[in-house]
Chains A and B, each alone.
Chain A
Amino acid sequence: MPDKIVGNDFGPPKAGPKDGLQGGSPHKIVGNGFGPPKAGLHIEIDGKSHPVKAGENLLQAILSLGLDLPYFCWHPAMGSVGACRQCGVIQFKDANDAQGRVVMACMTPVAEGMRISLQGPDAKAFRAGILELLMTNHPHDCPVCEEGGECHLQDMTVMTGHTVRQYRGLKRTHRNQDLGPFINHEMNRCIACYRCVRYYQDYCGGDDLQVFASHNHVYFGRQEDGVLENEFSGNLVEVCPTGVFTDKTFSRHYSRKWDLQTAPSVCVHCGIGCNTSPGERYGSLRRIVNRYHGEINGYFLCDRGRFGYGFVNGPARLYQARSAETGPLDVSTAENRLRAMLEDAKGIVGIGSPRASLEANFALRERVGAERFHAGIGDAEHGCLRTLLDLVRNLPLHLVSLREAERADAVLILGEDPTQTAPRLALALRQAVRNRALAIADELGIPHWQDAAVREAAQAEKSPLFIASPAPTRLDDIAARTCRASPRTIARLGFAVAHGICPEAPAVMGLTPEHEALAAEIAQALTSAERPLIVAGTGCLSEDVLRAVGQIAAALAAARPGRATAVHFAVPECNSLGLALMDAQSLAHAAHTIESGEADTLLILENDLYRRADRTTVDALLTRARQVIVIDHTLHATAERAHLVLPAASFAETEGTLVSSEGRAQRFFAAMQPAGDSRDGWRWLGPWPCLDDLTRALADSLPVFQQITACAPGAAFRIAGQKIPRQPHRYSGRTAMLADIRIHEPKQPEDTDSALAFSMEGAANDHPPALNPFVWAPGWNSNQAVGKFQDEAGGHLSGGDPGIRLIGDGAGTGLPWSVPPETEASIADALRLVPLHHIFGSDETSMHSSAVAERAPHPYVALNPEDAARLGLAEGEEVELAPDVWLPVKCLPGLAAGIAGVPAGLPDLPVPVTAWQSWKPNKPGDETS
């Protein structure tokens, strides 16, 4: 294996960051030289020369220059099709041409010396005419339309100067559809730009949203009423330039964008770390929208992340401290009770949380001591994360960002179903298989933004994607090969791939001929690719699978000296990796410490232990502990058994740092004041006056976190002496909104933890990207204003994409070759349990959102139909999964033989599949084992 890795396939990380808490702007650590460097092309726009990038189209170039040009159908992530005709400009054929001709900017490549006019009277008249035509059927319903105030169509209408309607004819009307719990449908507003179907079909691979009929009657919808099935349907809300598709969860408590108080935040519903802008009004969280990040989520979120916010205002939300004996407590009584209990404790066991910030976990760790600080995750997951970190630290692995994943030209997924466990990653992989199409386009000289031409040239050609998983996945439709097997067999396949790439890696004995052939094919594809990528994770809870990924990565690095191997490990929760980096003890250790009497008090931070281990174990632990204290924002089974429950702020009300599965530390900020008596988790635990002190203490005590202070500017940061307002300058009703309670206008709450203000006053411009609560620019009220905050259209944020990568830079020098696992023993009429993940269902907090819960499956035990027949089990028949837990059988064609799939993390299925144990189905009437 190579001694020193000099690079990865996606460009080397840049030099070290500086301490952002000092008040400096955040340092951009990750930036890749995507595509060719800017060539020195110049074009003349209205008589003035401008530098542009070769290979771009004119619209991209114009917007990247910061100029305004109206458009509808073009989207930076989806390229050009020239459908809407809105971006017309005048192009002159040479220096003498005074008349020129109208061209569509989005369909015209830039060329050296090109002369165009944006502002010429003919150009403006053309665009005004197109807009007027698009508006003939658009209703005058802005005042009752939820898009109003952040509508791209409104912005473009104003931009073209179309202020008086001449059309007096009838407007065509449509019947709207019920598209499920996430999306409203109002087709009368449609201007037929085709963005929705291009996004839904071409970008996301969905096939249930279509365009019907023709000319003035075109209809964008489903074939019949019903749920939009794609996991990324929520982005239609932002992709649609007007109000055809709007957020149904937001409708229930709607507020205009200009009345929402927002903050830069990070999604808490999986480990990817998508950037979001949560919006608050009247003390409740109203919605989540995308916050652009050039390396992670780009323009798009998954539906779990967008619609899973309901827990913040949900019925199970904790607003008040409570004691098991006396019920609700006021704050000072709760503080005294906590102090008394901790003083009285004969040893405290602290249990942290992968859904709490680094700071909150660190505060707990400081309170109880490193030896008594526990991760609070299932032991199987704990083992997986330890193995994962061992690989990342010691092997030449480069943990890829999603933008990098999109560039991979061969992908192997081992044991993971990313659509369910790390949804936004799956969307990135769907773009990765298009690299073959882009290569074909390159051969033919077609620019990548010529979307229809690229697709036409490529037909069904795709870059290779191999998926080895226990159950069918939502990416199977784009896979070159799929393989359904048990986690052990998947691991063996992985080890065989490693051997195929590098013969020094040990061979795998006793593989089936099909698996031998598949391993050889995968090895060949990965070796011949320029940017191979391996995707795995903790999804099937198999350390063998993770070791196999490490082996493949090492083999590839050996075969390609000097190149680190691109890997992405999906992890289940928003701070799973951050918590793992704190080297906390396992839950079993916590149980042992309580059981042995070394400690008698449990201090549990933002964690429901019943999701982490089986009921008997947790019951025993909670019973044995003399004092149980829970700090959390939501009532759950563990909190119900606590002697003292302290209300914590949710992600929308607190601030801290999370480490994503990319190894990127990111700061999230409070969009609102903590509800009721709740407060930041760490404020219950320690003496830190403000967050920066705590962040710095963490950075100073654990070397791996040394750089986290640079994630975002600290609370002392000011722009011309001013803080950054969370409210838009048009925020309305501040003096009156609470007048029904108290006539005096209250003082705006102070924020001592960040450079953001709970106010509309402050610095309006030049926000560092990590501190930008929302995007707005003059004339650009919709989220498409983000173009004004990027280094180029669809590129990185000006000033650098936020976050600091802590690990996974490919610096590991190597581990000894790992020994492949043996074939698993046959277990006759028993089956092996594996967890099956669900984007809607497996995440704890999002299931408190009724819209998400509506999409979740009912508990089941999934069997391959042949296994079910062999065992005499029929669809729907009840079987006993664990003592007194009866579940219906679900026949799942394509599930690997010999496996029973159990949904992971459903609230009404408290038995976690913590390891893939063997299980023998009992039917009613059978003697229970």
Chain B
Amino acid sequence: MTLTSDEIQAILREARHFPHPSAAAIEALNVVQRSHGWISDELLQEIAELLGMSPAELDSIATFYNLIYRRPVGRRVIHYCNSVSCWMLGAEDNRRHLSEKLGIAVGETTGNGEYTLLPIVCLGACDKAPVLMIGDETHFNVDPARLDDILGETGAP
């Protein structure tokens, strides 16, 4: 896996917005993740070099953010919130239902490469807990029945 020239151009374009190219680190990771799905060690090295950072520095940023993936993930990542509000209002029930329905534990990807199940700390909608994200969509007040609807909608197995 190496960066395409389009990706390199996009990263350099972002880097030009700042006095220090390293300020574009997050956007650069997003650019690459959009096309590759996740950030491999090799890609990380290349991006770091483009931005004049050490790989460790960039990896420190990459691993901090939940939405940057340093391992392969499915086409859609299910991020269920397990912070306090969601945890009190049934996040664990949802998690169990998802695991049973999709046949994957937290951190795993379905055999068809469609879904990966991951926890997340907070999605900023505690008033509508429990909350989860599937791909780019956020779903509120989720319960197992609603999950069946949603996964049906989104093309569940």
Q: Does B154 sit within 8 A of A, measured CB to CB?
A: no
Q: Does B121 sit within 8 A of A, measured CB to CB?
A: yes
If over half of A's interface residues share one DSSP class (helix, strand or loop), that class is named, otherwise mixed; here it is: loop
Other CB < 8 Å A-B pairs besides A207-B53, A208-B56, 4 of them? A208-B54, A212-B60, A219-B63, A222-B56
Interface residues on B, range: 10 to 19
Q: Does B55 sit within 8 A of A, measured CB to CB?
A: yes
- B60–A211 CB distance below 8 A: yes
- A210–B64 CB distance below 8 A: no
Q: List 23 A-B contacts (CB under 8 A).
A: A207-B53, A207-B54, A207-B56, A208-B54, A208-B56, A209-B56, A210-B59, A211-B60, A212-B59, A212-B60, A212-B63, A213-B63, A214-B63, A214-B66, A215-B121, A219-B63, A222-B56, A223-B54, A223-B55, A223-B56, A223-B59, A224-B41, A460-B20
Across the interface, A213 reaches (CB within 8 A) one of B20, B41, B57, B64, namely B64
Using A223-B55, A460-B20 as known contacts, say yes or no to A210 and B121 having CB atoms under 8 A apart.
no
If over half of B's interface residues share one DSSP class (helix, strand or loop), that class is named, otherwise mixed; here it is: helix
What is the bound-complex CA distance between A223 and B66, given in angstroms?
A: 18
What is the bound-complex CA distance between A208 and B55, given in angstroms?
A: 8
Q: Which of A207-236 contact B (CB under 8 A)?
A: 207-215, 219, 222-224
Measured between beta carbons, the chain A residues less than 8 angstroms from B59 are 210, 212, 223
| Chain B proximity of A208: nearest CB distance (Å) | 5
What is the bound-complex CA distance between A163 and B60, given in angstroms?
A: 35
Q: Which of A77-104 contact B (CB under 8 A)?
A: none
What is the bound-complex CA distance between A224 and B63, given in angstroms?
A: 13
Contact with B along A140-182 (1 / 0, CB 8 A): 0000000000000000000000000000000000000000000
| Chain A proximity of B45: nearest CB distance (Å) | 9
What is the bound-complex CA distance between A209 and B60, given in angstroms?
A: 10
Measured between beta carbons, the chain A residues less than 8 angstroms from B55 are 223
Measured between beta carbons, the chain B residues less than 8 angstroms from A211 are 60
What is the bound-complex CA distance between A636 and B124, given in angstroms?
A: 70
- A207–B57 CB distance below 8 A: yes
| Chain B proximity of A199: nearest CB distance (Å) | 15
Give the residue among A208, A210, A223, A460 with the most B Cβ atoms within 10 A: A223
Measured between beta carbons, the chain A residues less than 8 angstroms from B57 are 207, 210
What 4 A-B pairs come out closest when comparing CB atoms?
A223-B56, A207-B54, A210-B60, A210-B56
| Chain B proximity of A217: nearest CB distance (Å) | 9
Contact with A along B67-89 (1 / 0, CB 8 A): 00000000000000000000000
Give the residue among A209, A213, A215 with the most B Cβ atoms within 10 A: A213
* Residue in B closest to A229 when the chains form the complex, CB atoms: B54
| Chain B proximity of A218: nearest CB distance (Å) | 9
State how many residues of chain A have any CB contact under 8 Å with chain B.
14
Measured between beta carbons, the chain B residues less than 8 angstroms from A223 are 54-56, 59
Contact with A along B112-129 (1 / 0, CB 8 A): 000000000100000000
What is the bound-complex CA distance between A219 and B70, given in angstroms?
A: 15
| Chain B proximity of A885: nearest CB distance (Å) | 37
Measured between beta carbons, the chain A residues less than 8 angstroms from B41 are 224
Q: Which of B106-155 contact A (CB under 8 A)?
A: 121
* Residue in A closest to B44 when the chains form the complex, CB atoms: A223
Measured between beta carbons, the chain A residues less than 8 angstroms from B64 are 212-214
| Chain B proximity of A484: nearest CB distance (Å) | 21
Q: Which of B28-63 contact A (CB under 8 A)?
A: 41, 53-57, 59-60, 63
Measured between beta carbons, the chain A residues less than 8 angstroms from B54 are 207-208, 223
Q: Which of A432-471 contact B (CB under 8 A)?
A: 460
Give the residue among B41, B54, B55, B64 with the most A Cβ atoms within 10 A: B54
* Residue in B closest to A214 when the chains form the complex, CB atoms: B64
What is the bound-complex CA distance between A48 and B131, given in angstroms?
A: 53
* Residue in B closest to A220 when the chains form the complex, CB atoms: B60
What is the bound-complex CA distance between A403 and B56, given in angstroms?
A: 31
Measured between beta carbons, the chain B residues less than 8 angstroms from A219 are 63
* Residue in A closest to B41 when the chains form the complex, CB atoms: A224
Measured between beta carbons, the chain B residues less than 8 angstroms from A213 are 63-64
Measured between beta carbons, the chain A residues less than 8 angstroms from B53 are 207
What is the bound-complex CA distance between A590 and B147, given in angstroms?
A: 92
Measured between beta carbons, the chain A residues less than 8 angstroms from B20 are 460
| Chain B proximity of A51: nearest CB distance (Å) | 43
What is the bound-complex CA distance between A211 and B63, given in angstroms?
A: 9
What is the bound-complex CA distance between A211 and B57, given in angstroms?
A: 8
| Chain A proximity of B34: nearest CB distance (Å) | 22
Measured between beta carbons, the chain A residues less than 8 angstroms from B56 are 207-210, 222-223
* Residue in B closest to A222 when the chains form the complex, CB atoms: B56
What is the bound-complex CA distance between A212 and B59, given in angstroms?
A: 7
What is the bound-complex CA distance between A219 and B56, given in angstroms?
A: 12
Measured between beta carbons, the chain B residues less than 8 angstroms from A207 are 53-54, 56-57
What is the bound-complex CA distance between A214 and B70, given in angstroms?
A: 14
What is the bound-complex CA distance between A207 and B54, given in angstroms?
A: 6
| Chain A proximity of B84: nearest CB distance (Å) | 13
What is the bound-complex CA distance between A210 and B56, given in angstroms?
A: 6
* Residue in B closest to A197 when the chains form the complex, CB atoms: B60
Measured between beta carbons, the chain B residues less than 8 angstroms from A460 are 20
Measured between beta carbons, the chain B residues less than 8 angstroms from A222 are 56
Measured between beta carbons, the chain A residues less than 8 angstroms from B121 are 215
| Chain B proximity of A223: nearest CB distance (Å) | 4
Contact with B along A174-216 (1 / 0, CB 8 A): 0000000000000000000000000000000001111111110
| Chain B proximity of A460: nearest CB distance (Å) | 7
Give the residue among B20, B56, B57 with the most A Cβ atoms within 10 A: B56
What is the bound-complex CA distance between A222 and B55, given in angstroms?
A: 9
* Residue in A closest to B55 when the chains form the complex, CB atoms: A223
What is the bound-complex CA distance between A222 and B57, given in angstroms?
A: 9
Measured between beta carbons, the chain B residues less than 8 angstroms from A212 are 59-60, 63-64
| Chain A proximity of B77: nearest CB distance (Å) | 17
| Chain B proximity of A443: nearest CB distance (Å) | 21
What is the bound-complex CA distance between A453 and B66, given in angstroms?
A: 27
What is the bound-complex CA distance between A209 and B57, given in angstroms?
A: 8
| Chain B proximity of A735: nearest CB distance (Å) | 50
| Chain B proximity of A236: nearest CB distance (Å) | 15
| Chain A proximity of B62: nearest CB distance (Å) | 8
* Residue in A closest to B20 when the chains form the complex, CB atoms: A460
What is the bound-complex CA distance between A207 and B56, given in angstroms?
A: 7
* Residue in A closest to B60 when the chains form the complex, CB atoms: A210
What is the bound-complex CA distance between A556 and B76, given in angstroms?
A: 68
Measured between beta carbons, the chain B residues less than 8 angstroms from A215 are 121
What is the bound-complex CA distance between A183 and B63, given in angstroms?
A: 24
Give the residue among B53, B57, B60, B66 with the most A Cβ atoms within 10 A: B60
Q: Which of A574-617 contact B (CB under 8 A)?
A: none
* Residue in A closest to B58 when the chains form the complex, CB atoms: A223
| Chain B proximity of A739: nearest CB distance (Å) | 50
Measured between beta carbons, the chain A residues less than 8 angstroms from B66 are 214
| Chain B proximity of A900: nearest CB distance (Å) | 30
Measured between beta carbons, the chain A residues less than 8 angstroms from B63 are 212-214, 219
| Chain A proximity of B121: nearest CB distance (Å) | 7
* Residue in A closest to B45 when the chains form the complex, CB atoms: A223
| Chain A proximity of B53: nearest CB distance (Å) | 8
